Each structure stands twice: as structure tokens, then as C-alpha cells.
Structure 1
Amino acid sequence: MFSKATEYALRATIYIAQKSTPEKKLGIAEIAKAIDSPQSFTAKILQQLTRDNALVSSVRGPNGGFYMTDDAKKMPVRLILDLMGEDHRFETCVLGLKKCSEVKPCPMHAEYKPIKQQLIHLFTSRTIESLAGELTSESAYISLGKR
């Protein structure tokens, strides 16, 4: 549904929310390993997530790394999609048609419309903190890497 970069951004943000604090920052190598992503690709993704400290914060230097504030953790998951430039996914036709509308719908329009509304609700109602909390309770996982 999303690009590989956005999938990694979702995983990275949830991992950072779960494991970091302003006092305990995470390094790029740890994040990349935890989300099973190449380190250089993870660095590029984190650049987008840290732009203007909109979501993830970073500090350079020997005691530096990535972390999230409590306020950032309370943000909706959809913010990650916005920062990754994928917010349009909920506005476009499921078949990729440019002129799909209520007046001239594609063959899947009517069936996909309620699904699209459910997805919008899911990504706007769930917070990053709530997803990270599920990982803490061990009822879910994000790493698909080898252990």
C-alpha cells in the first residue's frame, strides 16, 4: 500500500517512540537493525522525519542520536505519511485513474470508498504512542529481522 521508505518510516518512528527519551537517544545503527532496514536508507528516512523537528528530534555529537518528545508521541500515525509525502494515498483512485469520482466512478469505487474511510480513520485516530505501547506489551512486533 505504501512505498518501502514509508514502511520503514512507520517502523522507525514506532521503534523510536518505544525505546527513546530526550535523555536516552538512539543511534542510526540500532534503529536500522531493529527495523531490518539498510543503515544508509534509514538515515535518509530519518532526515525526512527530523526535518524541522516535526516528529523525530535529533542531536549531533558523541551523546547524540534520535528521540521523540512526549508531545510528538501523541501525534497521529497519519503525520508520518504526511512527512513521507504519501498523504495523497487516501485521496486517489484505488486503480490510479485520474478522473475517478462519484459522478464517473471506476469499477471499484463504490466498494473501496468505505475501506478508504476506515483507513483514514485508522491513521488519524491511532497515535504513535498507542502503537509503541502495543510493542511494549509484547502483543505485537515490528522487526522482521533475524534474531
Structure 2
Amino acid sequence: MVKAQASIEIERPPDAVYAFVAEDFERNYPRWSPEVKELRMISKGPMRVGTIARQVRVDQGRRTESTFKITEMQPAQRLTFQGTSFPFLVDYRFDGASEHTKLTFTFELRRLDLMMRPFEKLIRSAVQDGAERTVRNLKRLIEAECAPPQRHSA
């Protein structure tokens, strides 16, 4: 198994960060993860546990197609996907109070094909770099596009 995790502080409340990631997922996911070249929601209606989507990604020149299912959605707390065509897990955790959110992104590649095992160290490094880039991109987009909370003066 290859696992990567990265966290970042975002100067917006958890509900705003969650809304950007989960509620506007179809529009925003390719923006914070430019490796996503195509995203199609297979399930109709709003995102919910059980929603299925298909993505085409190009990671370091390698094109992959996969489908995934939302397995956990807790507003302003957590969003989790699991690959249905390939064994991976993606988890976003939103921790915070009022004006700041600690966003933690985890990616697990649950199995490496036999022919990829000699490259495990390289894959592990690329996956960690990708996790760190993901949280930096999310922070940049959210802080630029989501209005900061109004401060009340006494």
C-alpha cells in the first residue's frame, strides 16, 4: 500500500471549505487537481453517499481512467471516496472553528500492480508530492474565491 497525507490551514470556516470541496465538487475538482482531464458524474442529483463518478487523469504522463464512489459525507467534517475500478481511497477532513480550517488530504493506493512494484519508492514520492500540491491548490483557490467571514467590531 502507498499512502500520502498532507495538511494545510485555510483562512476560511469549515463550512465554506467543505462547500467548495464537496458541494461544488464537479466544478472545482479539476481546478485543484489539474491532472484530472475529464470528470463525469454517473449518478444523478446532488452528491451524496453512494454517488458514483468517472475520471480520466494524466499523472506524470500516464493516463488512467477510474470510477469511484462516495463512501462518507459529513458536512463541514469529512468527504471520502473509494475507487470501484481500482483500489484507492481519497479522504478530505475538515477540522476547525469559526474562521480557520485545517484541511487534511489523504490518498491511499491500496495495491500496486506487480510490474509497478520496482518503482514503489518513486511512486510513493510522486503521490506525496501530489498530496501536498492538492492542499496548496485548495488553499489558493478557496482563499481567493470564498469571501472571508465578516468580522464584527464592538
Q: Structure 1-normalised TM-score?
A: 0.34
Q: Structure 2-normalised TM-score?
A: 0.33
Select the structure that is richer in strand.
2
Select the structure that is richer in helix.
1
